[in-house]
Structure 1
Amino acid sequence: MNRSGEPTLIASVQRALRLLEVVGQHPGGITAKCLARNTGLALPTTYHLLRTLVHEGYLAKLDDGAFIVGDQVAGLHDAAQAQQLRSRIRGVMTELREDLNAAIYLARYHEGEVVVDAIVDSPRTPRVDAWVDFREAAHATAVGKCLLSGLSKDERTDHFRRYPPEDLTPRTITGLRELVERPTPALVTDTEEYSLGTACLAAPVEGSDSPATLALSFPARKLAATGDYVRPLRAAADEISRVLAVAGEYPNWN
Structure 2
Amino acid sequence: MDGTDRGRTGGREPTLIVSVQRALRLLEAVGGQDRGATAKQLARQAGLPLGTTYHLLRTLTHEGYLQRLEGKFYVGESVDGIGRAGDRQAWQADLRTRIARLGEELGAAVYFAVYRDGEVRVVDVVAGPGRPAVAEWADFRATAHAHAVGLCLLSQLGEQERRDHLARHPPEGLTPATVTDRAAVLRRLAAVGPTRPVLERQEYQPGTVCAAVPITVGAVVATMALSLPLSQSARLPAAAERLRELVGAMTPSFVL
Query: TM over 0.5: same fold?
Result: yes
Residue of structure 2 equivalent to 1:25: 32
Question: 1:128-207 to 2 correspondence within 5 Å?
Answer: 128-182=134-188, 183-185=191-193, 186-207=196-217
- Alpha-carbon distance, 1:176 to partner: 4.1
Distance 1:126 1:23, change over 3 A: same
Structure 2: tracts of 5 or more residues without a match: 1-16
Distance 1:166 1:68, change over 3 A: closer
- For 1:150 and 1:11, locate their aligned partners in 2 and report how far apart those are by CA, in whole Å: 53
- Alpha-carbon distance, 1:55 to partner: 2.2
Please identify which structure carries the higher helix content: 2
The worse-fitting range, judged by mean Cα deviation, of 159-168 and 194-203 is: 159-168
Identity in percent: 40
Residues 139, 165 of structure 1: 8 Å contact kept: yes
Distance 1:16 1:109, change over 3 A: closer
- Alpha-carbon distance, 1:177 to partner: 4.3
- Alpha-carbon distance, 1:221 to partner: 1.5
TM-score scaled by length of structure 2: 0.70
Aligned residue identity for 1:119: V
- For 2:157 and 2:69, locate their aligned partners in 1 and report how far apart those are by CA, in whole Å: 50
Residue of structure 2 equivalent to 1:231: 242
Structure 1: tracts of 5 or more residues without a match: 1-9, 245-249
Residues 200, 216 of structure 1: 8 Å contact kept: yes
Question: 1:46-195 to 2 correspondence within 5 Å?
Answer: 48=52, 51-52=55-56, 54-57=58-61, 58-60=65-67, 63-64=70-71, 66-122=72-128, 125-182=131-188, 183-185=191-193, 186-195=196-205
Residues 54, 61 of structure 1: 8 Å contact kept: no
- Alpha-carbon distance, 1:128 to partner: 0.7
- For 1:24 and 1:89, locate their aligned partners in 2 and report how far apart those are by CA, in whole Å: 31
Indicate the RMSD between aligned Cα atoms, in angstroms: 3.4
Distance 1:75 1:158, change over 3 A: closer
SS in 2 for 1:202: strand
Distance 1:240 1:93, change over 3 A: farther
Aligned residue identity for 1:130: E
The worse-fitting range, judged by mean Cα deviation, of 119-128 and 134-143 is: 119-128
TM-score scaled by length of structure 1: 0.71
Distance 1:207 1:67, change over 3 A: same
Write the deviation string for residues 35-72 of structure 1: whole angstroms up to 9, x where unpaired: 688x7x6x3469746753552343455555x5432343
